[in-house]
Structure 1
Amino acid sequence: MIPRKLFRPEHEQFRDSVRRFVEREIVPHHERWEEEGKVDRELWRKAGAAGLLCPNLPEEFGGCGPDYLFNVVITEELARAGATGPGFAVHSDMVATYIATFGSPAQKEHWLPKMVRGEAIGALGLTEPSAGSDLKGIRCRAVREGDEYVINGQKVYISNGQLCDVVVLACKTDPEAGAKGMSFILVEADRPGFKRGRNLRKIGLKAQDTSELFFDNVRVPVANLLGAEGGAFGMAMSKLAEERLTIAVSAITAVESVLRWTLDYTAERKAFGQPIGEFQNTRFKLAELHAQALALRSFVDRCIELHLDKALDAVDAAAAKMLCTELQCKAVDECLQFFGGYGYMLEYPIARAYVDARVRRIAGGSSEIMREIIGRSLFGGGKR
């Protein structure tokens, strides 16, 4: 493996504590959570106490300071263990980041310490039945009446939807203004008219709750507006690079884990009197995947460096997300083949990795959208 030089001693010390937490508090319970469709709420409080939530927030709110590398460590250790249940990334890397960047002092003081401690769980309300990658197509409305917004609409595929205490909700505040008519509003889950739909049944990520959310004349104070009215589209675009980088980090780490499991298995499993790892086909397949993983790991680490310097652009983030998630799907498919019938059994990590991987080419912007972003930049239609 090419040595990684991103992390300082404090990050590696933090990694050790995160790995121990994952092995002690997550791995033993993950199968039960997959059956129940969500993790225990108590896990969030334990994760908060262990420093696994929103670590890059300022110290005044309970974080470690503005250092994205702590978030990277958590993402990698969850992916390394195949622990796809906890929706920590949505909570920490998306919801808390929006509030920390665009929130008022009162919003930050109210929500961020609770989110760090795991007392309040965050969800991001973007996708609707008729609006996925095309965020401008949302229909959820927020109409101002005096000092309140009245919200009506529906969201779907919302991670942390069953457990969330607050939703950063994308709404149309001016339907005639296109992208400039969309706003983010903080909606507490205990507001009258807020309703959680069913916990959606998925082919993968079974331990991570994913919900429909309904808003029926939900009234929130104008003070719940996040940033400026009409500013949501710009806010979302400014945060997409980090979201896609986080997905890429998770995906490339999953590839490395799948390769490690497969190497161990093929070194022991025998066919026709010899370990299947000694067959040329096995060596060639794994060699190709290993080489591709090495190249993409170097690219992702460079993207992390750029992000730390606030220089990661949308095009490079799109490339990292597209390449890493597509390699993840390729790797789990080709590696599962070496496990034979065992690879089709969900008790094996490779089988769970197979079904969990597929959504990565959709969530956070589909591979087709990533290609469009990259393609436009090549022909002068996008900025680097």
Structure 2
Amino acid sequence: MSGKPMGTMAINASLPKKASVVIVGGGIQGLCCAFYLTTFGIKDILVLDAGYWQGGASGRNGTLIRPGFGGPEWTELFKLSCDEWSRLSRKLGENVMFTKRGYSMIAERAETAAMLERAADVHRDLGVHSYFVSREELPRHLPAINHRRVAATLHLPDGGVAPHHAAMKGLRAACERNGVQVFYRTAVTAFDRTGGRASAVYVGQYRIDAGTVVVAAGGQNLQLADLAGTKLDGYSMRIEAMALEPIRPLIKPALALIDSLAYFHQTSRGEIVGGTEVPERPRMSLATDLPVMAATAKVYLDMFPQLAEVRVLRHWAGMIHVSSDFGPLLGEHPDLKDLWFSAGWSYGFAGAPGAGLLLAKAIATGDIDSRMRPFAIDRFDRGKPVAEAGIVLAKN
């Protein structure tokens, strides 16, 4: 057995003694996996989360969704996910409020503009709709942006945003309607290893036998991997964002400023929500820092001068676990059978429906989809990291 069962935890009397699939983590990754598993006919599913409802990164993110990145691996995965977002309300029978307002990738440097040219070729080859906004069209596309700072704008009209509260509410409702048991404030404290496989989880001293265990616990993935006696690449880190006070409509599409390491959009209430990445020492904390606020404010001032007098309404942080190449870690752990991970995410909200579908398909049928294979857990051991230039993240 890995980890040590804790005897002092109050156990919910409703917990089952066994499940076909136990998912550790009740954020958007865990709930997406659970929902899609039910579409493959698996009903005996248990979701356990140590935190409170929407208390993790799934309730603390920018909610931006795009189908295309710079390289083929990310683009194939996120095209699938964006397609799933567009039909998720219909599949769930719940309104996730996905708005296809478009997503623009902005280059400020010539080198980044050249990367967007290559990205457009990738998009065309993979069936992602994208096009360059000309300098003449830019004032109509983004009237408030500092046009002198823009070297190129690659627009993806199928991208958009989905409020995390609507997505999470819809997923949980659909999961529970399909028979999935979901428990929050219920921490997994140990795993059992029997015959080279993950055979059970413990909540305190309460044992739950499992046919399959999936770990999708965001910033806690590394600790849970250690509890299971396995190792994962990457580290936990904090991402911060802030919302500006409501103003008149100023920005229509969601935006990624690749060179400024910034991303944001304007909500239907008029708030501009987003953040800027700054290199900082990874740490487990939800406290916000002045350097991130200052960096975000500078980007707003440089790129959208009209925001100079707008006040900050809220500033918050969320924890994620990122891999060395910032790509997800998807699949069964090579060192322990029946232990699966959806981990390493830096764009976990946007990628959740696609990852949930592919992971559920792999668990239910044994078929590892080609869009999932590049993100295998052991890719770093095999010297196969996935390079991606179209992301907005600062290396520490």
Structure having the larger proportion of residues in helix: 1
TM-score by length of 1: 0.29
Using the size of structure 2 for normalisation, the TM-score is 0.28
